[in-house]
A and B are shown apart, each in its own frame.
Chain A
Amino acid sequence: MYRLRELAFALVLSLPCVAGELKLYPPVMPLTGSRASQQLLLLEEESGRAIAERTTGAKFVSADSKIATVDVTGLVKAIGDGETTITANSNGQSATAKVRVSKFTDPTPPSFRNNVLPILTRAGCNSGACHGALAGKGGLKLSLRGYDPDTDHFVLTRQSLARRVDRSEPANSLMVLKATRTMPHGGGTRIEKEGWQHQILLDWIAGGALGVSNSDAAVSSIEVYPRGATLKPKDTARLIVLANYSDGRVVDVTRLAKFVSSEAQVADVDEDGQIKVGGNGEAAISAMFNNRVATMTVSSPFPNILDVEAIARSPKSNFIDEHVLRKLGELKLPPSAQCSDAEFLRRAYLDAAGILPTFDELTKFLQDPARDKRAKWIDALLERSEFVDYWAYKWCDTMLVSTRKLPQQAMWAFYRSIRQSIADNKPWDRFARDILLSSGSSLLHGGGNFFVLHKDVAELSESAAVTFLGMSITCARCHNHPLEKWTQDQYWSMANLFSRVGMKNGERVGEIILHPERTGDVLHPRRQIAMPPTPLDGTPISLDDTTDRREHFVTWLTSPNNPYFAKALVNRVWKNFLGRGLVEAEDDVRETNPPTNRELFDALAKDFIEHKYDVKHLVRMVMNSAAYQRSSRPVKGNESDDRFYSRYVVRRLSGEVILDALSQVTNVPTLFTKVYTGVEGGTAATTNYPEGTRAIQLPDSRVASSFLDAFGRPDRAQTCSCERQQDSTVGQALMLNNGQVLNDKLRSPMGQLNTWLGGPTSDPDLVKRVFQRALCREPTEVELKKMVGLMKEAGTTPATRREALEDLFWAVLTSREFVFNH
C-alpha cells in the first residue's frame, strides 16, 4: 500500500516533467504610453517548439500592480512607469516575463498612420468590398487597406464638409457614428461602441485628428509567437503578433493583424489568430500587419510509430538527404526503399532529357559493374544533346518563345540563344544578365526579344520577377500586395529600372534594335512622379544617373546576397525532378507561401551560389540524392505523403515527352507541318521542321498539334508555370485510345513494327521487345502468358498477325505505366 502511494505520488510529480518546458511570451514587454497592453501567451515547449498552449486556465500574477496589471486571460496593462515581472502558473510549473512601462504620462495622442489606419484596416473599412473599392462606397473612398495614408487623412478630415471628424465633439464625428452604427451604416457595425478601438478613434480626434508626419515611427519588423508548434489534429493554439517600430517601441498588434494559413486542411487560423489543427502534415501560418509578414509553422506529425533506425539507415548521398530525412523524422514519415537500376535509368532519362533509354543503353547500364554507375551515367546523360533540347524547351516555356507575338526570325533567334546557353551550361547569373542587358539587334542577340515581347514597362518588370525571382508582384501594380511585403511604391520603383529601354525597327524583317536611353521615366500612377529606380528591396539609384538602369537591376539580381534569385531557379529544377516544388506553385515564392523544407531550400540555394550558379551541378546534386532515387512504391505510413519526399511521386509525362516516346518506341517520327495562325483554329503550312524533329525540339508553341494541345502544352502567352496543364482528362484518354497520332504510327509501313514482322521473331519475343522498348523491363510470367494467348487468338495470317502486333503496341503504349514516370 505504501509503495503504491509512493508510486502514485512519483507519477504525479513526474507528469509536468514528462511534458515540455513552460514558457511565457513575450519574455520581455516594453510597454510604451498609457494605452499600452500586451496579451501573454503561455506555451509548453519541447526543443523550442510549442506542443501545447496553456494560457487558458493558468494563473497570472503581477509582482507590482502599480506598474502593470494582468487579468485572468493573461492581458497585461500598463499602470505606471517602472519595471516588474509577471508570473504564470500552470500544473505546478511556472514561467515569468518582464514588463517595462515607460512614458506612461506622455500625452501624445494616437497616430493616424500607426493607430487609426490599422484599426480601419482590420475592421474592413478600407477593404475592396467597402470603402477601399475603386469607386469607394456611399461617397467615402479610402485607399485599399490604407496604402495611401495622406489621401485617407485628407478624405476623413477635409472632405464632406469636414463632418467626418468633429474635433470639438469627437463622439459626434461622422466616421465614429457610422463605424459604431450609431447612425445608419450600410456596412453595419464595424467597431464596438466603448471598445478600445472606439476609444483610440476618439482620442485621435480629440488630439486634433493629426495627419501623417515624417516623424511617425515606421514598422521595422513584426514577430509572431510561437515561432513553431508541433500539434495534433483537434489541438488549438493562439498566436500573438508584435510589431517593432523604428523608435524602439514594441506593440502588441495581434488584434490588428491578418492571418492566413498555407494549408488550411492541416491547420486553419481564424481572424483572431486562433489556430485549429485539422490534419497531418505541415502548415505555415502568416501574420500580416502594415505590409510586413511573419510566418510560423505548425507541424502535425503523421500518426505513425516511426522506427528511428529506419531513418538513420536510409541512404544518404549528399546534403539534400540530411535535410529530407530530418524532415521525415519530424513528421514521422518512413522513407521508401531505393528504386531498382532499371527504374532509375528510365526515370533519369525521362526527367533529365525527355527520352526513353534504348534497349542497348538499358542493357549496358544493367551490366555495368561499377558501384557508382548511377553517378557516372548521370554525368553522361547531362552531356547529351537531348538534355539541351529538353531544358531549352523548358526555359522557352518561361520566356514565352513563340510566333504568337514574335515574327519567325525573331522567334528562332530567341530560341537559338536560349538553346546555346544551355549547350554551353552558361551559369544562371550570366544567363539572366545576358538576357536582361540585351542591346543591339534582336536577331543577333536573341535574348533581346524578351524586351520585344514585353513592351509595356509594368509587364516587363512583372515578367522579369516571375522568370528570375519566381514571384508575382502584379498585385502591387495598383495597390500594396495583400499577401506580400511589396508596396505599390516598391513596384513602381522597380518598374522604373526598365523605363529606358529604347527600341526601333531594324533593317531586316522582324529585327528590333535595342539601346539604352539616357532619359525617360515611368510615373507612379497615383503619385504621378518618377520613383527612384530600385530593385524591390534593393538600394535606389539617382533619377539623374544616366548609366543603363538595367545594370543596377542585374547587379542586385545576381548578387550572391539576393535571397530570391538562386531559389527561383533551384525550385524550378527541384520540381522538374521531384515532381513537387519545395514551393508550390514553382513560381509563387512568397513569404506567405513558404517551402515544405526551408532548411533544404536554403542549403540548395547556398550550394548553387557557391558553385557559381552552375545549373548542371545543381541537376547532378538532385539526381544523385537518395531522395530522387527512392522507389515510387509506398511503405506503410507514407502512402499519403506527396510533398516531403518520402518516396518518388509518380507523375504523368508531359505531352511533348509522351509524343516523342511514342515516336521512339514505334520508330515512326511525328510530322510537324502546320502552324497556328489566327486566334481560333486557323493553320498554315510550314516546312521549318524536317522529318525526325521531336516535339521537345520545337521552338514555337504555335506549331499545330492536337495531341500536344490535349495534353496541356502551354500557350506561352503569359509568364506563368500555370499555363502547363498536368492533369489527365477524359479527352486525353480518348486521344490515346482512338486518336490518329498513335494509330497512324502503328499502321505506318516504315516503323519498328514492320521490321519485326519481317523477321522470324516469335510472339513471346515480340512481347518482350515491346516491353523493353517502352517500359524498360521484361514482362512478368503472367503478363507474357496472357499476351501471347491473346495474340494467338488473333490468327496467323500476315494481316491478322500485323493487327495483333499493332494491338500489342497499342496496349503497352496506352498503359499508365508507359505514360507515367515512376
Chain B
Amino acid sequence: MICLNAPRPASLCGSGSRRDFLHAGSIATLGLTLPDYLRAQEASGNKDSDVNCIMLFLLGGPSHIDTWDMKPKAPAEIRGPFQPIKTSAPGIEISEIFPKMAKHADKYSLIRSVYHTATAVHDTGHQMMQTGRLFSGGIEHPHIGSSLGYLKGGRGELPAHVLLPRPMGRTGGNLPHGQTAGYLGKNHDPFVLNADPSVPNFKVPDLLPPDYISAQRAERRQKLRDAVDGSFESFEKNAAAKQLDDNFNLAYRLMSSPKARDAFAIEKEPDAVRDRYGRTRFGQCCLMARRLIEAGVRFVTVNMFETVFDEITWDIHGSKPFTDIQEMSKLVAPNFDQAYSALLEELTERGLLKNTIVTAMGEFGRTPKVNPAGGRDHHPGVWTILMGGGPIQGGRVIGESDELGYAPKSRPITSGEVAATIFRGLGLDPHKDLPGPQGRPIPLAEYSLQPIKELF
C-alpha cells in the first residue's frame, strides 16, 4: 500500500484507489522511481517506522584541520597542505580531498566542536564515542548499538547490531574499546562478521552447515543436542553458560533464516553497485551495511580500520609504523569519500536515508601544528564528526573550533551529548534507564546531557 504524505486528496489514503499510484508517482520528484520505491518497501525487513543507524568508525582519528574543519587563514604549519572547496550546502566548505562527499552536504551536518578530556590515546576515544562514556569503576558500558538492540531486540532472525568487518584490535593502550554490550551481557554483543566482504568468494564464516548436512540432519542434530540434559543448575545460574546458550540460539536462527543468509550475500549485488562503493574493504562493508539495514538490522558499526599499526589509516603521526598526511590524502580519504558518498546516495535512492542515521566519526582530532615528522598527533581538544539521516538534519554546521583548531570556540560537545543525540534520533529517551550491574539503573546518556537540538 502506498500512502505518501501528500497534501490531497487525503481522504483517499488508505482506500487503495488507483489515485494512490498517481500520488506515488510524485515520489519521482524526490529522486526515486516507483520501482525503486516498491523494491525498497518489499525488500526491506524494516517495515516499522523505527529509525536505524550506521556508524562508520574512522579508526585512527581524522585530522579535523585537513578534512572537515579547515583553517585556511592559519599559519602554514597549522593549515596544512590542502585547500577548502565549496559543497552543495551553502556556506559549508570542506577539504579538497573529499570532492564526492562535497556534493552531498545536504545529507549530513558537521559537528565541529566535539572534544574529550580523557587521556589522548585511541582507546579512550573509542570507548567514549561508541558508548558515550569513559570506563571507570569496573563498569563496562555498552555500545550504543547494543543498547538499542537490548531495548528493541532484533527484527526477526537478524541480529540487532552487526559489526563489520572485525572488531578494533590493538591501538596502543590496553583498554576495552567499548564495542561490546558491556554490562548488558554478551548476548547483546554485536554480531561480528569476521571476514572481508571485498575478497573474492567472500562468505560469512560458518554461517551455513556444510553441503553434506541435509536439512533433516541439521534438525536431528539440534534435537539430539537438546536431549543432552546437562542443564543442571550449575549452568542455569551461570552468566557464561547462559551466554553460550544465547549465542547458540542466535546462531541457529541465523543459519535457518533465508532472509538472514540473503542479507550477507553481497555477491548478489550487480558489479555496477559494488564498483560504486569502491572495491575496498571499507567500501564493501558500507555496501554490506546498506544490505543489512535493508534486511532489518537496526544498527551497523563499520570499522574503517582494525588497528593503527602497519596499516595506512587516519593516524597520521608521520613516522613509521603510522601514516603521514600525504598517504592519508591519497589512500584513506578517497576510500572514505567514495564509499561514504555511495552509501548516502544509495540510501536516498532506496528511501532508507529517511529512517537511517548515518554517522561518521573518529576518536579524536589531530594536533593543529604539524609535527617535525610531517604528521599530526593525537588531539582530543576538538574535532569534527558527521551526522545525518533519519530525523537528523543535513546541511548544517554545529559548533566551531577556535582560529587554530585547538579547542571548541562555541557550543562544545562531549561524546555523551553525541550519544544522547543518536539515542534521540533512534526514537529513544536518552535518559531511559538500563539495568546496570546488580540492577543499578544507568541511563542511556547521563541525565545532565541533552541531545544536540540544533540537529533536529
Interface on A for B, CB 8 Å cutoff?
127-130, 133-135, 186, 260-266, 268, 278-280, 472, 474, 631-634, 639-640, 642, 649-652, 679, 706, 710, 717-718, 720, 722, 727-735, 737-740, 743, 747, 775, 780, 782-783, 786-787, 790, 793-794, 803-804, 807-808, 810-812, 814-820, 822
Contacts and interface: CB of A to CB of B under 8 A. Distances in A.
Interface string B198-234: 0000000111111011000100110111011110111
A783 B227 contact: yes
A804 B255 CA distance: 21
Given A279-B438, A727-B186, A734-B251, A808 B224 contact: yes
24 contacts: A128-B120, A134-B120, A135-B367, A260-B136, A260-B137, A263-B138, A264-B138, A634-B234, A634-B237, A650-B238, A718-B170, A727-B240, A728-B243, A730-B159, A730-B192, A730-B251, A734-B254, A775-B230, A787-B227, A794-B220, A808-B224, A812-B225, A816-B245, A818-B230
Contacts of B118: 128-129
Contact of B229 (A186, A260, A783): A783
A734 B240 contact: no
Given A260-B137, A264-B138, A811-B224, A733 B250 contact: yes
Residue of A130, A633, A738, A808 with highest tally of chain B CB at under 10 A: A738
A134 B241 CA distance: 45
Contacts of B192: 729-731
B229 A780 contact: yes
B15 interface: no
A265 B436 contact: yes
Contacts of A803: 217
Residue of A265, A633, A812, A820 with highest tally of chain B CB at under 10 A: A265
Given A129-B117, A718-B174, A734-B255, A815 B217 contact: no
Contacts of A808: 224
B244 A816 contact: yes
Nearest to B189: A729
Contacts of B326: none
Contact of B235 (A650, A717, A807): A650
Nearest to A134: B120
Contact of A639 (B210, B232, B237, B244): B237
B333 to A, nearest CB: 21
B221 A807 contact: yes
Contacts of B439: 279
B44 interface: no
Contacts of B437: 265, 279
Contacts, number: 187
Nearest to A785: B227
B37 interface: no
B310 interface: yes
B191 interface: yes
Contacts of B159: 730
B322 interface: no
B121 to A, nearest CB: 11
Given A775-B230, A814-B225, A733 B170 contact: no
Given A633-B232, A738-B255, A790 B438 contact: no
B39 to A, nearest CB: 30
Given A652-B240, A734-B254, A740-B210, A811 B247 contact: no
Contacts of A818: 230
A56 B213 CA distance: 72
B26 interface: no
Return the 8 tightest CB-CB contacts between A and B, nearest first: A817-B230, A129-B117, A264-B137, A811-B224, A733-B251, A632-B234, A279-B438, A786-B227
A733 B238 contact: no
A794 B159 CA distance: 33
A811 B227 contact: yes
A812 B139 contact: no
B228 A743 contact: no
Contacts of A738: 206-210, 213, 255
Nearest to A787: B227
A139 to B, nearest CB: 11
A820 B244 CA distance: 10
Contacts of A790: 220, 223-224, 227
A733 B205 CA distance: 11
Contacts of B189: 727, 729-730
A815 B229 CA distance: 9
Nearest to A585: B174
A815 B228 contact: yes
B248 interface: yes
B17 interface: no
Given A817-B228, A817-B230, A743 B207 contact: no
A268 B438 CA distance: 13
